[in-house]
Amino acid sequence: MSFFERFSLARPTPTRAACQRAFSLVEVLVTVAIILTLASMTMAAVSVANGSGKKVRTRTVIAKIDAIIMAQYESYAGRSVAATSDAARGEALRTLAKGDLPDTWSTVATLAAKSESELTPHQRAYVAVWKSVDQAQVVVSNASPECLFLAVMHGGLADCLDCDSLRIEVGDTDNDGMPEFLDAWNHPIAFVHAPSGLRLPFNSNANFFSSALPFDPVVATSLGAKGGLMRPLIVSAGTDGALGLGADASQIPGSNESRDNLTNFDEEAKL
Ligand SMILES: [Ca+2]
Ligand SMILES: [Ca+2]
C-alpha cells in the first residue's frame, strides 16, 4: 500500500454516529421556536414591569396633587364668611370652595361675570387666564384636567412641582391652549370637586362618600359612607385611557372603563 493509499484509508469516513451528531432541520426549528418563546416571555415580563412602573409613577403624581388640593380644601373649615345661620355659612363656604377649586369652565365663566371685588385672589387669577384665551376654542370636554392645572399653577396652590425629585409631566392633549397634568400614559389627570357618585372599589354598590362636606356646619355629622365626608377626586384613566365616569364621578352605566382607573382614594377603598 502506497503512502497515499494508507493516508487515504486513515482518513475518518463519516459514520452513522457522526451523522446523528449533526443538527437536523427539526432540531434547528425546535431551537428557534424555544428562542422565540423565551424572547416573547421576556418581552411580556418587561411589558408587565413597565405597566407596573407607570402605575407606581402615576400614583405618586396623584398623591402629590392630592396633597396640594387637600391643603387648600381643608382650609375652608376655619374661614370666616358673612352668614347669619349655619345653613347660610355652609352654602357660602361651599360656593367659595367651588370657585377656588373649579372643575368646569362654566364655573370659571360664572366667576368672570362677577365684579372683581367679589372674587378671591385665586378666582381673580382664573378669570385673568380665562379672559386671555380664545374661549370658543377651549374644549369643554377636557375641562376638569385643565381646571386642575389652572388651580394648582395659576391659583398659586403649588410653589414647586419638581420638589422631592418628582417631575409632573404637563401637556395640552387637545391643543386648545389650556394645559393639563399628565399621567404616565400621557393622558390628562382629571379632577372632580364633589365626587358624589363615586363608587370604590369598582362595582361596589354604594357611593364612596356621604353628601356631607368637611366644612359644612349643618351636615358635617351625617356620615355613613365608607369614604366619610366628601373630598375632591384626583383620577387617572389608567391603562385604557378612558375614565368611564360621569360629571359627579359616577360610573357610566354598562362601562368597565373605570375599572383600571387610579385615584387618590384607592388605598382607603381597600381598608
Ligand atoms: Ca388642553
Ligand atoms: Ca380607565
Q: Give 169-198 as a DSSP string.
A: -EE-TT-SS--EEB-TTS-BPEEESS-TT-
The total number of structural domains in the chain stands at: 1
The reply to whether 106 falls in a domain is yes
Residue 93 lies in a domain: yes
In a domain, 90, yes or no: yes
* Closest to 177 (Cα-Cα) out of 138, 205, 211: 138
The pTM assigned to this predicted structure is: 0.81
**pLDDT tens column, 234-264:** 999 999 999 999 999 998 887 899 999 999 9
pLDDT in tens, 126-162: 999 999 988 888 888 899 999 999 999 988 887 666 6
Question: How far is the centre of ligand 1, averaged over its atoms, from the C-alpha of 211 (Å)?
Answer: 30
- CA 159, CA 153: separation in Å to the nearest integer? 8
Cβ within 8 Å of residue 205, ≥6 positions away = 199
User: Does some domain include residue 107?
Assistant: yes
- Cell numbers at residue 250, please? 359616577
Whether 24 is covered by a domain: the verdict is no
Cα-to-centroid distance, 140 and ligand 1 (Å): 9
CA distances from 131 to 98, 102, 108, 111, 124 (A): 19, 16, 10, 11, 11
Q: Judge whether 13 lies within some domain.
A: no
Q: Are 142 and 180 in contact (CB under 8 A)?
A: yes
Residue 165 belongs to domain spanning: 57-270
Q: How far is the CA of 154 from the centre of ligand 1 (A)?
A: 15
